[in-house]
Structure 1
Amino acid sequence: MTQAQGMCYDGAEVGKHENVSMIRKLKDFEDTDKVNRKREERRRWGVGRKGRAQQGLVGYKYEPGCVQVSSDHSLDTMSLLALLLMIGAAAAVPREDGRIIGGQECEPHSRPFMASLNYGYHFCGGVLINNQWVLSVAHCWYNPYAMQIMLGEHDVRVFEGTEQLMKTKNIIWHPSYDYQTLDFDIMLIKLYHPVEVTEAVAPIPLPTACPMAGLPCSVSGWGYTAVNGEMNLPVRLQCLDVPILDHQDCENAYPGMISPRMVCAGYTDGGRDACNGDSGSPLVCAGEVQGLVSWGQGCALPNYPGVYVKLCEFLSWIEDTMAANP
């Protein structure tokens, strides 16, 4: 199948929830059908900051409702279910070339801080920052009663004995989150109880300073490895080394769309990038988590590097939020 650009721009389920104390009330999302129509338009055209049309601008979340298809037409329910079954079958077969685009399989359990946001399948990444809190991006929000967090995972097909499946107690996204621009695209997830710290499950420190251009980093995830029209869902955690890019290079790639809370990492020549399903996955530099996969123009396209949440700009919010929710 060919890759439909603009897939899964903002795939988070929205609507009313009886426990509004868990998240900021979504007054802009009360008409779910209207929101879904807007979301479909944004997936198709990728309207960015200040309404600028940027075809293919996507938040890198994976969900069944945002499947790569070759047609612009919506799928009916039965067709979508059939397609999802095909994808599930494909995911059950390991692919030797499966990886984050341009990356490779991680050394098993070399990323003990890596989290998978899951509601029956992986749909976004996250990062364990202490024994009871996970960071991810706000556009990955899902009903906290349905979402679970998988830690200690490497091969999603195999029970390795290292996994810890955790229920979520609280999900809090940044009060200034803007789903249109993906500014302030960050949320905290409190686990129902603390994890057991092991070799396969352990938190990673938050940044002590903001990253400088040229700093070597690594991103990991189970997201799509689709390239040149071929779709692949890896079963093993994938890794990719990427450098922090100069802020001006980031601005040049996305004029008027980069806020002070965003940072670009990757390669301007394309071919290496995070992709759909990697949203929320950690960008790790010198043993600290410096960013979260947030959005980009397509995946691995020349002159369009990946855009990440710049975590050094959120340290006070993270600390204050955790302290306010003991």
Structure 2
Amino acid sequence: MQRVVGGTEAPARVSPPPQVSLQYYSGGGWYHTCGGSLIQRNWVMTAAHCVNNNLNYRVVAGEHNLNANEGSEQIFSVSKIIVHPYWNSNNVAAGYDIALFRLNGYASLNGAVQLAVLPQEGTILPNNYPCYITGWGLTRSECRGDSGGPLHCAVNGQYQVHGVTSFVSSQGCNVLRKPTVFTRVSAYVSWINSDSGRSHQDSP
């Protein structure tokens, strides 16, 4: 996993444990397509544009190196996908680029797998607030492969997921004056809680 701040790869011991890899099946193998955040032991938050109804997905939690089995991975099939009802793939800039995946099982929480902390509804951070993104795309700025992944911001001593990586400029990644766009998580907390039952106990 690469923490895209200064273009350096995050060591496994500091990779953010709420980050997951969303993978699809094709030609006899599984391929990473998007990131996501574990918001309950059996629910993942990602971007709506990552969803293709013609694909079979799985979620890998505790992942660091996509090309190696490091023993920390937990793999789950997906039993349900909920895309925000106002999402329009023909108008990405309109917003609502958020989706939920229900896992066919419950993640075991440990040093490599933890739940994301979401902000309170309506929270808006000040301009130029320091945050960082994670994923398996290119270094230096968010890029393809990082879509759906978390934007982490430290608030009151804890990292919260304030954004879901949505899209970059049509000119490509890391283009001057063409910022990465994130879905603001605090605008969707009620929807997330309602559809995932996040406000209730998540034990099986």
TM-score, structure 2 length as denominator?
A: 0.83
Whichever residue aligns with residue 314 of structure 1, its letter is Y
Q: Which residue of 1 aligns with 2:27?
A: none
Tell me, yes or no, if structure 1 residue 200 matches structure 2 residue 78: no
Note closer, same or farther for the CA distance 1:99–1:290 as it changes in structure 2 (3 Å cut).
closer
- Secondary structure at the aligned position of 2:195 is classed as helix
Identity %: 36
The structural deviation recorded for 1:210 is: 2.2
Tell me, yes or no, if structure 1 residue 108 matches structure 2 residue 19: no
5 Å-filtered alignment, 1:298-317, equals: 298-317=172-191
Tell me, yes or no, if structure 1 residue 185 matches structure 2 residue 78: no
- Secondary structure at the aligned position of 2:181 is classed as strand
Q: Which protein has the bigger helix share?
A: 1
Structure 2 distance, partners of 1:305, 1:219, is 13
The structural deviation recorded for 1:100 is: 4.6
Once superposed, what is the RMSD of the aligned Cα atoms?
A: 2.2
Tell me, yes or no, if structure 1 residue 295 matches structure 2 residue 167: yes
Q: Which residue of 2 aligns with 1:166?
A: 76
Contact 2:59-2:77 at 8 Å conserved across structures: yes
Q: Which residue of 2 aligns with 1:281?
A: 149
**Cα shift readout 1:34-86 (whole Å, capped 9, x = no counterpart):** xxxxxxxxxxxxxxxxxxxxxxxxxxxxxxxxxxxxxxxxxxxxxxxxxxxxx
Q: What runs of 5+ residues in structure 2 fail to find an aligned partner?
A: 25-29
Q: Which protein has the bigger strand share?
A: 2
Computing the radius of gyration from Cα coordinates, the structure with the larger value is 1
Structure 2 distance, partners of 1:128, 1:100, is 19
Note closer, same or farther for the CA distance 1:123–1:212 as it changes in structure 2 (3 Å cut).
same
Q: What runs of 5+ residues in structure 1 fail to find an aligned partner?
A: 1-97, 226-237, 239-271
5 Å-filtered alignment, 1:1-326, equals: 100=4, 102-110=6-14, 111-119=16-24, 120-143=30-53, 146-182=56-92, 183-208=95-120, 209-223=123-137, 225=138, 272-286=140-154, 287-297=159-169, 298-323=172-197
Structure 2 distance, partners of 1:142, 1:181, is 16
Contact 1:144-1:171 at 8 Å conserved across structures: no
Structure 2 distance, partners of 1:144, 1:113, is 27
**Cα shift readout 1:247-289 (whole Å, capped 9, x = no counterpart):** xxxxxxxxxxxxxxxxxxxxxxxxx420111110100001100
The structural deviation recorded for 1:196 is: 0.5
Structure 2 distance, partners of 1:190, 1:302, is 37
Structure 1 distance, partners of 2:146, 2:50, is 10
Contact 1:206-1:290 at 8 Å conserved across structures: yes
Whichever residue aligns with residue 217 of structure 1, its letter is C
What stretches of structure 1 move > 6 A for 4+ residues in a row? none
The structural deviation recorded for 1:99 is: 7.5
Structure 2 distance, partners of 1:274, 1:323, is 30
Contact 1:151-1:201 at 8 Å conserved across structures: yes
- Secondary structure at the aligned position of 2:187 is classed as helix
Contact 2:3-2:132 at 8 Å conserved across structures: no
- Secondary structure at the aligned position of 1:121 is classed as strand
Structure 2 distance, partners of 1:157, 1:196, is 22
State the aligned residue count. 183
